[in-house]
Structure 1
Amino acid sequence: MALLRVPPLTELLLQPPCRGNSFRPKAHDHSGSSSDSALSALQCHFTWDLNGNDHRMHCLIDDLIDICPSESTPWRGQMYNLQGFFQARLGRSSEALTLFCSASDVLTGPELLVNYSDLAWLHHQREEPEQSQEYLRRVEQLSREHPTEGDLPHPEVLAEKAWSLMKFSREQKLEAVELFEAALKQEPHRVEWRSSQVIGIASIHKLDRVQKEFLKKMQEAHENDPENLYLSAVCLIQRQLHGESVEDEMNDLANRIIPTANSSYSGIKPVIRFYRQIKQENIAIFWAEEALEHHPESRYVIRCAALCYKWRKQVIQLYPDSALVKEIDLADVYGKSKRSKAEQMYKSLLQRKMEPSQKQMLYNRYAKYLLSIQQDKRKAIKYFWKAVRIDHDSFFRDNSIEILMKLTKQSRESILAEAQSLSQIAKLEDLECHFTWQLNRSKSILFFVRDRLEDLLYDESTPWRGQMYNLQGFIQARLGRSSEALTLFCSASDVLTGPELLVNYSDLAWLHHQREEPEQSQEYLSRVEQLSREHPTEGDLPRPEVLAEKAFSLMEFYNDQKLLAVNRFEEALMQQPQRVEWLSAQAIALVRAKRHQEPLDEEVLIKMKRALDQDPNNLELYAEYLYQQDRKEKQRNQREQRSWRREQRGEQSTSTAAHLKQEASAVAAQLLEKPVTLHRDIRSVLELQRSVVSVDAAVSLAEKALQKFPDSRYLKSCLSMSLKLLLQTEIDRANVLAKSNHSLSQADRIYQDLLLRQDLEPVSKQQLYNSYAKFLKFDKQKSAEYHMMAAEIPQRSYFRTNSIDVLMEVISGRDSALRREVEHFLETIQEI
């Protein structure tokens, strides 16, 4: 195969050119008139063997349309010619004629040789011989006006043939390189030809490094054609392949390309190919999105973006465990048509745990999504700030700063200064701890929870000791007692180990921040980061210890969020199913959340039994389980309305009740044998005693427990509650007897015995006096006396209020002496 001898340029190519004597028109087997022979001798698209099937032609037409030629595009007329030829091949002669005529309007001088030749061929195919002959004459006239040396075609013809061949196979691209070289030999000053020749060679070596000599020629072409941004991108790719660091230059170039990115000649595609080549698909996606913002209707830009998304999907499928950041970009494509899907993906991504650099990119991309798709400027600014506050120098931080400068009219210096002051707050807000869990309660509730936790800390063996110190410390901080809070958090630090310290260190970082101690706060932030690195988790969930502590805190803080606590325990147990104390706490939270449900779900009982099998020594859980079994049995008995069914089940019910009573007594005995867990377990055990055995049994148990810890206010409270219930039981018995005229004396004896008691607390006394006054309602004088005794006790309660209301009614009565006595009393009693 003969090689055309053109200077060493083509010798630098990996493959030799594929055709010899390429510049002479090929012989065509056209029989017939002299006109046919003349047409066959023409140099144009119809004689250059530009073969391809219909699908290929359609694809090439789309490629040419994507160039979006402007008046300054150097190949505008040639584009129209090639499009016209493809339309003619597809049988669309009218469209072809329009395109060829558009080319005629753009081209001048010898550039019209190919155009007139194409028109001669088109009219010939349309069976319009006169018009065909007219264009043949124009070709001859142009050839005479612009003669060439030797037998070579005109350089404009060579250049157009070269430009057309570049759209086809590798072999034809190699031929195009030779054709450009031959054209440049005649007209070396044609910058656009040299640039296209270099781009043609680069397209043959898309992902391969060219030889250094050719790289030098590429750079020379770029120097002569600096406004050709496509050529600039191609040169940077080759320089990178030769080991140069060109990322900054490519970034600057991409900024210049964006305004014209809707054209395939802009260079946007080589830019995104470059970033994929260096394994930074996220940057490629970024520039594709930038182009989409500027040219939302451009199908070429959409196509480039789709290519990036395709890469992203491939990477996510190949690397499901390490492609987290790549999903960020995939979410953006859904934002164009499926906003709900995009929001869902972003919500999931924002909840994930990731490195600061990854989080910075996520915030930047989400902010741009909010700004361009959701049109939510306020929220977008919030996330741009989040990206800037992360102390990591990157493109995404710089880009966020630039956008904030436009949106907020602030200078770069003021943004950086503000970001520095707020970066620590941002880190604190990202922590998982009591200060970020929205544990907002009134002061009275805070005091109540604090006191309860202090009571529970009697039990040194409790598995939640460290978490109780943390929660107490948080409560003290909320109450403005930072010194007490610091002491409690430090106590938690002494008890907790490993990842259990994550919440504790986070709480301490917050506390020192509130105490205006930035160095200590930063120290604990560093400890949190170090612990997180030492104890990474699989997937995106927080550490199970963090989830469990959050669940525990919700249980202690709220009555209406116990189901949420159950869910947090479930998430923790999915990671560490062997943690028995979490399983037991979850079961207790579940039953207390559904305590008022009638009847309790069988599924709840099953979960309690499963937890009890794992934790048989947990008396609190066991008492809760027996209590629920007792409730279930009583509900079943209440449903038995027919005597024959009661008789049928009577033996079974008695047996079940006796068994439960025996179990309840055994639990009480075990509780007294294990004083280390007494404070944790006693509440549930007392409730079981009252329900299954008797109120007297509950009182007896509370008294024995108090003997073991005589200074425990919690146990005193338990005994007081039991005594109140005992009092209420006796009052209820007396009231039942009072409904029968035959038992009035017996009811009165019960009240007299209760009135002799010296151990009643103020509220219990009010209850007794109020109830006895109502019992004596037919003796107005005595009834009023006991109502006054109830009202005289300076303790706010329902019973005092009710007695005062009754006394107010006495004032309007007919008994003037009693009325005066009550009026005087009400004037003198203490207001509370």
Structure 2
Amino acid sequence: MFGHSADGDMIRIKIASPASKTVRDLLKEKLDQLQCHFTWGPQKEIIDLDDMVYRLQDSIDLNLKYKARSYNQLAFVNCLQGNSEEAIQNLQEAEKILRENHKDTFERRSIITYGNYAWVHYHMGELTKAQSYLDKLEIICKPLTDGPRYTAMIPEVYGEKGWSLLRSAAQHYEEAMECFEKALEEDPDNTEWIMGYATVLFRLESIPGTREKYKSSQCVNHLQRVLELDPDESLAMVMLALKLQQDNQKKEANELVERALQKSPDVPKVLRNAAKFYRLERAVEKAIELLEKALGITPMNSVLHDQIGMCYRVQLLELFKNPLSSDPQYPEFQQKMVLINHCKHHFGKAFEHRPKTATKSQLDYADICIRNGEYSDAAEVYSKLLKLEGIRPENMQKIYLQAGAFEMYRRKSDLNAVNLLQKGLKIKNNTHDWKLCYKHLDKWVNRKLCRDAHNSKALGVKGFLYQMDGHKSEAIEYFEKALEFDPSNEEYLSALCELRLSFEEHHEL
């Protein structure tokens, strides 16, 4: 079909026919069946894409093992960012590495790369090329499975999926663990999958609300197994050292860290974990030295900035104990200001490219601002954090706790504080942060009721606290008291109705 441009020249106008739409839709249905980065969950809204690019590029530049894995995931991220041509180049590099390093198992290991190729070509509108990769996958997968037509659930696929999920967001760690378990069922001595399983356990055990599910010995056993199969795996050494440090096996832990640093003196992940070990041993200067060295190798690494910030904060909190640090006449005051600037710089760098995932760094930054009297800066950080979506519940609880405490004790805004702390309590788990939310609210309630026993807000919050504790009759009593002084409060009426119904059902059983 033809039309006319503004200056009268004839131009061609393309109109998609219903048939081409149908072809695209049918192709999309096939693509959705694939096992590759485009079907594994983490998408634009829950990963910080810029930071992911830096991390993947670092692992490629450092020539670490499993470079093909990094190129595959980088292709996915580039495609999400609209850089489809770069994504194709990434996949070409991944394919080349797999052909060179895995001649005998290339086809098994190419399933994910070919799946990614198909998706990138689909996003580029090159439907014939996308279909050609589906055809290749069908030929590869036919002898490997009786199941899906275009993929095969083999250890290589489960393992790659596990690493991809592990690299993305904490809410996918448990799914990553299941993938490594499946990979190890068929290939129990594969150090790549054992290391993946150990890594996901290591991370899960550090997350409040999930650590209780996992025994530390599980992670220790898997790291020890990695070192049995590969005695030179230095990252496993430092991770094992951190676990042994927790169990107070200091001598063996120290030896492992020293050995790892001798074997891999220039690997940022080894340096970072060794630095964490020394920081926990209060050897903060040694930790900073290692982290600065790692940062020199990977200058855009946000996790390193966070770790350096934590080291400077240890020194800052120690200095706060010295009364001279609050007097500008003394050198301790200048030292304090230098440490505050170091903390703010590094925590700021830690979340610069990770606004969605580096919530802890942002909370640490806000805490430093509060300690320095910069309340407006802290308020801005909390405001941004409270608007985030898709945050893990335990991270959101920590945000509510710290923002609520800030409103209560620094801004003297009781209503805002109570609202935030109640939201933190509604995230039900037995974490330290849950207990602190409760403690702050309980303290506030008792203070208010001492001054005015008829304060409806305080009576309502007291009812809420009893409700959270599971003490239904006491909760009913306090909500009824609150309604005596605020009879039209819908929140109290709703809570009272729910409690009475639940109370009656319980007593009917």
Name the structure, 1 or 2, with higher relative contact order (CA <8 Å, separation 6+). Answer: 2
Match of 2:414 in 1: none
Match of 2:194 in 1: 194
Question: Matches of residues 509-520 of structure 1 in structure 2 within 5 Å?
Answer: none
Deviation, 1:274, is 1.7
Say yes or no: does 1:142 pair with 2:140.
yes
Q: Look up the equivalent residue of 1:215 and give its one-letter code.
A: V
Match of 2:281 in 1: 278
Deviation, 1:317, is 5.0
Matched-pair identity in %: 21
**Bigger Rg, structure 1 or 2:** 1
Query: How has the CA–CA distance of structure 1 residues 126 and 274 changed in structure 2, closer, same or farther, with 3 Å as cutoff?
Result: same
Q: Look up the equivalent residue of 2:225 and give its one-letter code.
A: E
Say yes or no: does 1:288 pair with 2:286.
no
Q: Residue deviations 1:676-721, cap 9 Å, x none?
A: xxxxxxxxxxxxxxxxxxxxxxxxxxxxxxxxxxxxxxxxxxxxxx
- Which of 17, 34, 46 aligns to 1:42? It is 34
Q: Distance in 1 between matches of 2:170 and 2:230?
A: 25
**Contact 2:234 2:264 (C-alpha < 8 Å) held by counterparts:** no
Deviation, 1:283, is 2.1
Match of 1:255 in 2: 261
Q: Residue deviations 1:486-530, cap 9 Å, x none?
A: xxxxxxxxxxxxxxxxxxxxxxxxxxxxxxxxxxxxxxxxxxxxx
Say yes or no: does 1:229 pair with 2:220.
no
Q: Distance in 1 between matches of 2:153 and 2:51?
A: 30
**Contact 1:288 1:301 (C-alpha < 8 Å) held by counterparts:** no
Deviation, 1:116, is 0.4
- Which of 73, 78, 81 aligns to 1:87? It is 78
Match of 1:238 in 2: 243
- Which of 268, 272, 276 aligns to 1:269? It is 272
Query: How has the CA–CA distance of structure 1 residues 46 and 199 changed in structure 2, closer, same or farther, with 3 Å as cutoff?
Result: same
Match of 1:64 in 2: 56
Deviation, 1:201, is 1.1
Question: Matches of residues 234-633 of structure 1 in structure 2 within 5 Å?
Answer: 234-246=239-251, 248-253=254-259, 255-256=261-262, 259-261=265-267, 263=268, 266-289=269-292, 291=293, 296=296, 298-299=298-299, 304=304, 307-313=307-313, 315-317=315-317, 319-321=319-321
Deviation, 1:54, is 8.1
SS in 2 for 1:260: coil
**Contact 1:87 1:95 (C-alpha < 8 Å) held by counterparts:** yes
Deviation, 1:184, is 1.5
Query: How has the CA–CA distance of structure 1 residues 222 and 171 changed in structure 2, closer, same or farther, with 3 Å as cutoff?
Result: farther
Q: Look up the equivalent residue of 1:160 and give its one-letter code.
A: E
Query: How has the CA–CA distance of structure 1 residues 126 and 302 changed in structure 2, closer, same or farther, with 3 Å as cutoff?
Result: closer
Q: Distance in 2 between matches of 1:50 and 1:302?
A: 20
Query: How has the CA–CA distance of structure 1 residues 136 and 60 changed in structure 2, closer, same or farther, with 3 Å as cutoff?
Result: same
- Which of 104, 113, 126 aligns to 1:115? It is 113
Q: Look up the equivalent residue of 1:115 and give its one-letter code.
A: T
**Contact 2:235 2:260 (C-alpha < 8 Å) held by counterparts:** no
Q: Look up the equivalent residue of 1:106 and give its one-letter code.
A: I
Q: Residue deviations 1:428-485, cap 9 Å, x none?
A: xxxxxxxxxxxxxxxxxxxxxxxxxxxxxxxxxxxxxxxxxxxxxxxxxxxxxxxxxx
**Contact 1:273 1:284 (C-alpha < 8 Å) held by counterparts:** yes
**Contact 1:191 1:225 (C-alpha < 8 Å) held by counterparts:** yes
Deviation, 1:69, is 5.3
Match of 1:155 in 2: 155
Query: How has the CA–CA distance of structure 1 residues 119 and 112 changed in structure 2, closer, same or farther, with 3 Å as cutoff?
Result: same
SS in 2 for 1:135: helix
Deviation, 1:214, is 4.2
- Which of 212, 217, 223 aligns to 1:218? It is 223
- Name stretches of at least 5 consecutive residues in structure 2 with no aligned partner: 1-21, 99-105, 326-331, 343-509
SS in 1 for 2:29: helix
SS in 2 for 1:206: coil
Say yes or no: does 1:100 pair with 2:105.
no
**Contact 2:114 2:137 (C-alpha < 8 Å) held by counterparts:** yes
Query: How has the CA–CA distance of structure 1 residues 312 and 33 changed in structure 2, closer, same or farther, with 3 Å as cutoff?
Result: closer
Q: Distance in 1 between matches of 2:303 and 2:175?
A: 29
Q: Distance in 1 between matches of 2:52 and 2:206?
A: 19
**Contact 2:272 2:290 (C-alpha < 8 Å) held by counterparts:** no
**Contact 1:210 1:238 (C-alpha < 8 Å) held by counterparts:** no
Q: Distance in 2 between matches of 1:256 and 1:305?
A: 23
Match of 1:694 in 2: none
TM (norm. structure 1) is 0.33
Q: Look up the equivalent residue of 1:43 and give its one-letter code.
A: Q
Q: Residue deviations 1:230-288, cap 9 Å, x none?
A: 11111111111112014531551353265323x4xx42211112222233322211323
Q: Distance in 2 between matches of 1:306 and 1:166?
A: 19
Deviation, 1:49, is 1.7
**Contact 2:205 2:216 (C-alpha < 8 Å) held by counterparts:** no
TM (norm. structure 2) is 0.52
**Contact 2:202 2:219 (C-alpha < 8 Å) held by counterparts:** no
**Contact 1:113 1:157 (C-alpha < 8 Å) held by counterparts:** yes
Q: Distance in 2 between matches of 1:321 and 1:214?
A: 37
Query: How has the CA–CA distance of structure 1 residues 251 and 286 changed in structure 2, closer, same or farther, with 3 Å as cutoff?
Result: farther
CA RMSD of aligned residues (A): 3.4
Query: How has the CA–CA distance of structure 1 residues 66 and 210 changed in structure 2, closer, same or farther, with 3 Å as cutoff?
Result: farther
Query: How has the CA–CA distance of structure 1 residues 138 and 70 changed in structure 2, closer, same or farther, with 3 Å as cutoff?
Result: farther
**Contact 2:118 2:130 (C-alpha < 8 Å) held by counterparts:** yes
Match of 1:133 in 2: 131
Deviation, 1:98, is 1.1
Q: Look up the equivalent residue of 2:42 and give its one-letter code.
A: L
**Contact 1:195 1:222 (C-alpha < 8 Å) held by counterparts:** no
Q: Distance in 2 between matches of 1:175 and 1:54?
A: 15
**Contact 1:81 1:115 (C-alpha < 8 Å) held by counterparts:** yes
Q: Look up the equivalent residue of 1:91 and give its one-letter code.
A: G
Q: Distance in 2 between matches of 1:280 and 1:210?
A: 28
- Name stretches of at least 5 consecutive residues in structure 1 with no aligned partner: 1-29, 335-832
Q: Distance in 2 between matches of 1:175 and 1:101?
A: 28
